[in-house]
Amino acid sequence: HFWFQILQPLNLSNLIHSRRSSSFADWWKKSWRKVPKQHKKGFNTLVILGAWILWKHQNSCIFDGAAPNLQGALQAFEDEAQFWRSAGAKGLAALCLSRVG
């Protein structure tokens, strides 16, 4: 599960999206409220990055015939997160996102 692999190393596994949530946006809003104030900005960045990686992976599967690959998506997330942190995503860096997957 993509989100578990992303959130668990950050001790945020209590925020895992359940199927009972009515939408992704509702899950995001409810989860954001539970995140400590000093990590809210980083959490938002993490969710945006995760959603973008999943969207790109889905498009690759649909339009390029790629096979769904959780490890590939997680690696893409980790690589992109490193780029974002290098570019100044301080909130993401504050979450200490050193290893995912």
Q: For residue range 25-69, what is the model confidence (pLDDT) as tens digits?
A: 999 999 999 999 989 999 999 999 999 999 999 999 999 999 999
User: Is the entire prediction scored with pTM above 0.85?
Assistant: yes
Q: Rg of the Cα trace of the chain?
A: 13
Q: Mean pLDDT score of the chain, rounded to an integer?
A: 89
Tell me whether residue 83 is exposed, middle or buried, using C-beta atoms within 10 angstroms of its C-beta: 0 to 12, 13 to 18, 19 or more: exposed
> Any idea what DSSP says for residue 49?
H
